[in-house]
A and B are shown apart, each in its own frame.
Chain A
Amino acid sequence: MLSIKDLSVAFKTRKGEVNAVRGISLDVGKGETLGIVGESGSGKSVTSYALMRILDAGGEIRTGDVSYGGIDLRAASERDMRDIRGREISMIFQNPRAALNPIRRVGHQVEDVLIRHAQATRQDAKTKAIAALEAVKINDAAARYEAYPFELSGGMCQRIVIAIALACKPQLLIADEPTTGLDITTQKAVMDLVGALAKERGMGMILITHDLGLASQYCDRIVVMKDGLIVEEGAPGMLFTDPQHPYTRKLVDATPRLGASIRNLLPPDARSPEPEHKVHTRPLLEVRDLVKTYPGKAGPVQAVKGISFDIKAGQSLGLVGESGSGKSTTSEMVVRLQDPTSGNILFEGHDIASTPSGKFMRHPVRRNIQMVFQDATDSLNPRGTAASAIAEPLARIDRMRGAKLESRVSELADLVGLPQPLLSRYPHQLSGGQKARVGIARAIALEPKLLILDEPTAALDVSIQALVLNLLVDLRAQMGMSYLFVSHDLNVVRLLCDEVLVMKQGEIVDRGPTASVMDKPSHPYTRALIEAAPQPPEPVAA
């Protein structure tokens, strides 16, 4: 149905031309689901924009043929392309909330497409739009028709985006990272919905994702892209069990999965034995009846409803939950960036909750509790160098100056595996993995006893995630730190944590040693979370 031959795409930038796609060929059959898997910069999204001819300014198709059902998409006029987009080939995107017009009612956005492609008249547009919303399993579609995107959850917004894409019953759907930024159970619901609709309508699909596990679960065939080239193509099972290309091998290895240890994520030659970390029996942190209440429009909202837990010295505790579960609020209270409404936080037996967060900076315990933030880019000052970011806590809290400071910063860079020449660079000159290392170096600069890690690898490619997770394991063994590891990814928590807490709506619903919670989940919510996580087929032992 769709056939791409020798496609190459280049972007004009200030630094000259960048070849984003360098001669790829692929086919999608009718009703087939093709996965395009690759890490950031592999050209997987650009390929889809190119075939839809919606490349950003400066992007240009250089060579190749794109034909869809006999139509040459490269030669088609812009007017013909507008008829094809939305009616023959549709797209859904990542970050669904931003993908919708923020100031237009979602129902009207569906109508726009229906009217554009003459699938509805002004008179029956509303009825048909509501039918389109019902087709993507939106409850109470008539009421949702009137809503604005900001009034809906992320998963609901993605359903609207899907409704817009499928309203005119296209033959091919391109899903560009459709579940990035969604909760794991929402991800499963959205993917199941798209899969079922594709099957029901005999619709072809291209699923673009960085998640090999997700692709293998929903695709008939997968192509792996790297640096604008297709490096391997095959059935999902084959790719996992017998990857031919070294890059595919690396991706398969780096995907967290059942039965793999944290060192298994690394390429075979980098697998040194995993260091042991010692867990003491004495508690480092004791949280008692912690409550956080926010004032809301319709009365106060309890984000955290009286939770208690301990972290022992040297222990790594995983905190798992979906958005709105209160896990981030909890971690921010523990790191003392937010004040609890009530309850105690005892650090080595002393209550630190009584010091207001604004004054905690001067508290002697400040140096012992540090945090690694979720977004490695946004948590670094864009006008400061990597060295200045790492030096900040040393200069502020340790009053370290001059040569001593410099040598400590370079020592820390070595510790986190950040090459020395990169220290003078600014955040925009560093890659995602390098920025993550800077964030970790800054957090461990004062040798804290407790490190709070708020989804530190959520924005990273899997191969980089593998490196960062292994770095965290090494640092833990070396420095004897305790971790509070906040994550939505159970497979990652399983690799790193001794014990795990599962939070839902401000309460801890499940807790215990990671292995027993994960392998024999007692609580239905834990079970739902585990089942929702895509499980890649098990690879053959390396």
Chain B
Amino acid sequence: MNARTKMILGRMAQAIPVVMGVVVISFLLTRALPGDPAAYFAGPAADEASIAEIREALGLDKPLFQQFFLYVGDLARGDLGTSLTTGQTVMSDLAARLPASLELTLVALLLSCAIAIPLGVLAATRPGTWVDHLCRVLVTAGVSMPTFFTGIVLIYVFYYLAGLAPSPLGRLDFIYLSPPHVTGFYLIDAALAGDWETWFGALKQLILPATTLALFTLAPIARMTRAAMLSALSSDFIRTARAAGLGSRKVLYGYAFRNALLPVVTTLGMVFSFTLGANVLVEKVFAWPGIGSYAVEALVVSDYAAVQGFVLAMALLFVALNLVIDIAYALIDPRIGLN
């Protein structure tokens, strides 16, 4: 256990240089963007002199490395600058929008795991039967339809035709007030406030976009679960367990599934990162006030502070995610972290 704790601490220390690298790259990347933020900010009627004035006010006239030190100094104070488009500080924009995206992604992944993992396990234990074929069909269908298409079809069927779903306009219908801000996750905040009406309101808004994303992420998780279970079930130690008379439930879950978890966790981490990046389209279709649509809007108008803030936030999130996965790995598999 001691060796493993040491490994986890070491792994956390490794994240530090990565974060520093991310700071440098996010800075350089946004400076390399085409377009002049000063010109955009000054508006179409501005003349050369007022643009230069604004450039000076933004600090964009200074040499690059000096700008960098100013940026790092601001970062240290938790100041990510002000968005040119929303007029709010980037920090407050991110604080409002990041939880929206995370809530959507996490709910989608939970939903997807709840279906994909049992499906993969069933398919692996009964290869060639109807469960296996169902798994294959679902997986192929889910991955071959683009998310914006599934999203629109779901809206058409469940909102327009059946009228079961609320209008696809953001996180809450206008008849509800958003719950008091604690975590920014509406489901959690509403539950904390004990406001179950709002909770259901938020859940109803979430179901369609989360399903859209879940259908897309079903495929890799189900496939990996199936493959990992198949290889675990054909291992020698499964034969030993069966020869010792252990029950099928014990063999399946106690022995095979825990060994199959390792590749599944890896896949989950990858799926999480690409979903977080790829849910821009879903956010657009459902008018979800998430971080993806925020970043796209900022990028279009060279809103460098917002883009910088977005890149930094995402990078930190990925670093944290990888850390969590590595730690999960070490917790599942005792062999890791000792050589």
Identify the A interface with B (CB < 8 A). Answer: 52, 54, 56-57, 81-87, 90-91, 93, 95, 98-104, 112-113, 116-117, 148, 150, 161, 164-165, 297
Contact = CB atoms under 8 A, between A and B. Distances in A.
Interface stretch (B166-174, B197-205, B234-242): B234-242
Contact of A52 (B127, B236, B243): B243
Nearest to A56: B234
B240 A103 contact: no
A85 B242 CA distance: 8
A91 B236 CA distance: 12
A93 B335 CA distance: 22
B245 A161 contact: no
B246 A86 contact: yes
A101 B259 contact: yes
B250 interface: yes
A95 B335 contact: no
23 contacts: A54-B242, A82-B246, A82-B247, A84-B245, A85-B244, A86-B243, A90-B244, A93-B239, A98-B237, A100-B240, A101-B240, A101-B241, A103-B259, A104-B254, A112-B241, A112-B244, A112-B250, A113-B246, A116-B245, A116-B250, A117-B245, A150-B335, A165-B243
Contact of B245 (A101, A102, A113): A113
A125 to B, nearest CB: 14
Contacts of B244: 85-86, 90-91, 112-113, 116, 164-165
Contacts of B339: 297
Interface residues of B, number: 25
Contact of A95 (B236, B246, B259): B236
A296 to B, nearest CB: 10
Given A84-B245, A85-B244, A99-B240, 8 more contacts: A86-B246, A90-B243, A98-B237, A99-B237, A102-B237, A103-B259, A112-B241, A165-B243
Contact of A112 (B239, B243, B254, B338): B254
B245 A91 contact: no
B320 interface: no
Q: Kindly name the residue among B235, B246, B247, B250 whose own CB sees the greatest number of chain A CB atoms within 10 A.
A: B246
Nearest to B256: A101
B216 to A, nearest CB: 31
Contacts of B246: 82, 86, 112-113, 116
B333 interface: yes
Nearest to A48: B243
Interface of B: 127, 234-237, 239-247, 250, 254-255, 258-259, 332-335, 338-339
Contacts of A104: 254-255, 258
Contacts of A84: 245
Contacts of A116: 244-247, 250
A102 B335 contact: yes
B250 A164 contact: no
Given A82-B245, A116-B244, A103 B250 contact: no
Nearest to B243: A91
A127 B239 CA distance: 26
A96 B157 CA distance: 57
A56 B238 CA distance: 11
B237 A100 contact: yes
Contact of A85 (B245, B258, B338): B245
State the 4 A-B residue pairs at the shortest beta-carbon distance, nearest first: A86-B245, A85-B245, A86-B244, A98-B236
A117 B245 CA distance: 8
A86 B239 CA distance: 12
B125 to A, nearest CB: 10
Contact of A148 (B234, B237, B335): B335
Given A99-B236, A101-B237, A102-B237, A83 B242 contact: no
